[in-house]
Every structure is written in C-alpha cells, then in structure tokens.
Amino acid sequence: MKVFKFGGASVNSVEAIKNMAHIVADHLDEPLVVVVSAMGKTTNLLERIIPGIPKSDEERRALLKQSEDYHFGIANELLDDGDETFTKLRGLFAELERVSTSNPGNYNFDYDQTVSYGELISTTLISGYLNSIGISNEWVDVRQVIRTDENYREGNVDFETTRRQAQETINSQFTIHNSQLIITQGFIAGTDKGTTTTLGREGSDYSASILSYCLDADSMTIWKDVPGFLNADPKFFANTVKINKIPFNEAIELAYYGASVIHPKTVKPIQNKGICLNIKSFIDPSAEGSIIGPYSSIEPLTPLYIFTNNQLLISIQPKDFSFIAEDNLQTIFAVLAELNIRVNLMQNSALSFSLCMNYNEILLNKIRERLESQFRLVYNTGLQLITIRYYNQQIIDEIVGDRTVLLQQRSRTTTQLLVDSK
C-alpha cells in the first residue's frame, strides 16, 4: 500500500486536477491512499471568514462567494450537469455559511471548524471527478480516522486510536470492500467529542505521514511543483541542486531549521517505521525526484541553504548589570515558554542575552511588558536568518556579501548567520 499527498498547488485548476488524475491512474497497481489539501490558496481565504474576523457581513459574503465561484467554476468544467457531487458541494458550502456566521467564541476552535471546509470541499470535488472518469474511489472523512486532543489549530495526535481507526476505516476498504483507491483530506482531524481540529498550517504532509505510519505503508510520496528536495529554495537562489538521497535525520534537521519543502513533524512517524518518503514533481511525474530514507549521508554532498526572512533580534540586558547566569536565564525562559515562543537562534555574553525569533509585534510587546522592569531590551527588525549546512568560508562570504552580520553561530556542520536584509 502507498500513500500520496497532493498539496494546494497541485489541485488549483482544471488542468492541475486532470494532471493529478493521470498520476493517480498510473499508480493503481496496488492500494493507494491519496491525501489532498485545500485547492490553491483556499485556506488563506477561509482564514478571513472565521467568525469575528470579517469587518462586515458584506465582506464575509463576498469572500464566501469568491470561494464558491472558484470551486464551482472548476467543478462545472470537470463534471456533468447532473453529477451528484454538485449536491454534496452545495451542502458543504451551506454548512460553511452556517459555521462562518455563528457567534464568535474561542478563536482557535472557530478557526478549525471553518478552515477545515477547504479540504472537505477539495476532496469531495476530486473524488467525484475521479469516479466520473472511471477511476473508482472511496471518499473517507479523515476526521473519523486521525484522532487528536482538543488543542485546536495544532492538534496533538493520539497515535494509538488513530492506528485502530485507520485499520478499521481505511484498511477495511481495501480488504473487505476491495477498493483500490481512497481519497481523503490532509490537515484536518477529529476529537473524541466529534469536533474538528487541524494539525497546523501546511499540515497535510504530516497527515500523509501519520496515515503511512498507522497503515504500515510501503512508501509515501509528496507531489510538488519542484523536481525534488533542492539544496535551497529557488525563490532565493538561482542555481539550486537537487538532492537525490536524504537521510531521515538530515531531513528532520532541515525541517527544524525552516526548510519549507516539508512540514517539520512529517519525518518522525515514517522514520520510526523506516518508510521511505519520495518527493516528486507533479509537472514531470516520471522524473526521479528525491528520497528521504535510511541513508548515512546526503547525496550529492553539497551545501544546503535555508533563508528565513522577517526575523527579530532582541538583546536582553539585566538593569542591575548582574551577569547573565542561571537565575536571569530562568526568568527569560519562563516568559518565552509562557508565550510559546520558538527561538530560532540564541547567544549570551556576560551582560546580555540575545535571541532571534520570527517577527510578531504582539509577542514583542508581551515580552517587553513582562521583562522591562528587570531588563533593558534592545531590538532590530527586518533581519534574515541564513542557515548553511556543509558550509565553508568562501560560501559564507559569497552569501553574506556586504551585509552586516549581527549574530553568528557555527557547529562542525552548520552555521547560522543573522544579517540585515539589504
């Protein structure tokens, strides 16, 4: 059994969905679970109609209409007039209308109840289309399969229940009902109370990995608009090199440092079971792509670059000129933990502790509120964090150019440089 994941860009138009159908049809020699994201930028749009977010009812209705027009525009091209999928889609949009007009309550809860419709709609449309062209498939509601706690917007997966439910719901489709193809949603999950949760933005890779783990898949494949795992994001770098083989640990490190090619939580479940993860191009599906697997080093061995923009550097200095030691650090870290802040880089000297994080004005103000009685805070914004694995001095000099380095750290394999973004 194999698991495929198609992201928003691979199903964002009539042509893209037809292309996806070709890829799926070419791989039906064994049972296949296909995990699909919301189409195009739908999640971004749905984030704007969460109860309490639109400025007016007019704005909410206009956005909803925009999404309806987009999906029905594609459905009209792909499906015959009388297809039952239209009734299902109309039902989903009616539910979305109801959810988005409910009274605002807990934001995270409302978020998940609303944005989850992106995946419900995309999979309903795609499943209906595939059936209509003879690629018969079962649509599975993944909220009945992936179980999380009630940590809305970042549900924590209960792997034991998920494994049992995956065996009951998905495996039984393959074994008892003799289906060869399952279409299901990425990103969303369900609680034991029957409410909907999500796994964090870009979480569909993680969904595919959870299902691969729970169903003991032979392999997992993420279909992307790039030829594979590149040594840098082509948006920032002209001459990228495709990495053919990536060890599991290396992929975890890269995702941790912010490589956008896979969601950070994706690798662990498949690593635990030794399931290889293929990254392939949906534009050129027969090309080789990259494989994350049980290798000892990357191949070819080449420097890897990760660029993270919009960084904030805060330097924290005790007002009484005491050394930065355990007691001061404890106070600072308690605040960071309380505010759930992910530190991207940190360093301390005798009298100052510096940390780099993604810029967020609200969090910056909260840090100031909590620390300013005891510490003096200085900060810089608009910085870029560059992470280079397998670096050498020449590479560093080329990348940094004439920019100012505000903070730098080096280990044997990795260097991180925080620079101003000229």
The site for ligand ASP (CB under 6 A) is made up of: 7-8, 37-38, 43, 118, 186-187, 201-204
- In the complex, what is the shortest distance from the CB of residue 206 to ligand ASP, in angstroms, rounded to a whole number? 8
Task: Give the residue among 115, 269, 120, 118 at the shortest CA–CA distance from 197.
Answer: 115
- In the complex, what is the shortest distance from the CB of residue 188 to ligand ASP, in angstroms, rounded to a whole number? 9
Three-class SS of 285-305: CCCCCEEEECCCCCECCCCEE
> 24 or 417: whose CB is closer to ligand ASP?
24
Task: Give the residue among 79, 172, 161 at the shortest CA–CA distance from 128.
Answer: 79
Task: Give the residue among 379, 23, 12, 14 at the shortest CA–CA distance from 223.
Answer: 23
Bridge partners, residue 147, by sequence: 190
- What sign has the CA pseudo-torsion 19, 25, 29, 32? positive
**Angle at CA of residue 53, ends 187 and 156, nearest 5°:** 30
- In the complex, what is the shortest distance from the CB of residue 186 to ligand ASP, in angstroms, rounded to a whole number? 5
- What sign has the CA pseudo-torsion 198, 100, 191, 176? negative
What's the length of the chain? 422
Burial tier of 98 (Cβ tally within 10 Å: 0-12, 13-18, 19+): exposed
- In the complex, what is the shortest distance from the CB of residue 9 to ligand ASP, in angstroms, rounded to a whole number? 9
CA distances 410 to 108, 154, 247, 260, 397, Å, are 38, 32, 21, 22, 14
- In the complex, what is the shortest distance from the CB of residue 7 to ligand ASP, in angstroms, rounded to a whole number? 5
> 8 or 190: whose CB is closer to ligand ASP?
8
> 8 or 289: whose CB is closer to ligand ASP?
8
> 44 or 272: whose CB is closer to ligand ASP?
44
- In the complex, what is the shortest distance from the CB of residue 404 to ligand ASP, in angstroms, rounded to a whole number? 34
CA 125 to chain centre: 22
Pairwise CA distance, residues 202 & 207, whole Å: 10
> 43 or 113: whose CB is closer to ligand ASP?
43
> 16 or 324: whose CB is closer to ligand ASP?
16
Burial tier of 237 (Cβ tally within 10 Å: 0-12, 13-18, 19+): middle
* 340 SS3 class: coil
- In the complex, what is the shortest distance from the CB of residue 207 to ligand ASP, in angstroms, rounded to a whole number? 8
**Angle at CA of residue 209, ends 204 and 210, nearest 5°:** 95
- In the complex, what is the shortest distance from the CB of residue 180 to ligand ASP, in angstroms, rounded to a whole number? 25
- In the complex, what is the shortest distance from the CB of residue 200 to ligand ASP, in angstroms, rounded to a whole number? 8
> 119 or 250: whose CB is closer to ligand ASP?
119
> 33 or 298: whose CB is closer to ligand ASP?
33
CB distance 226 to 182 below 8 Å: no
> 131 or 204: whose CB is closer to ligand ASP?
204
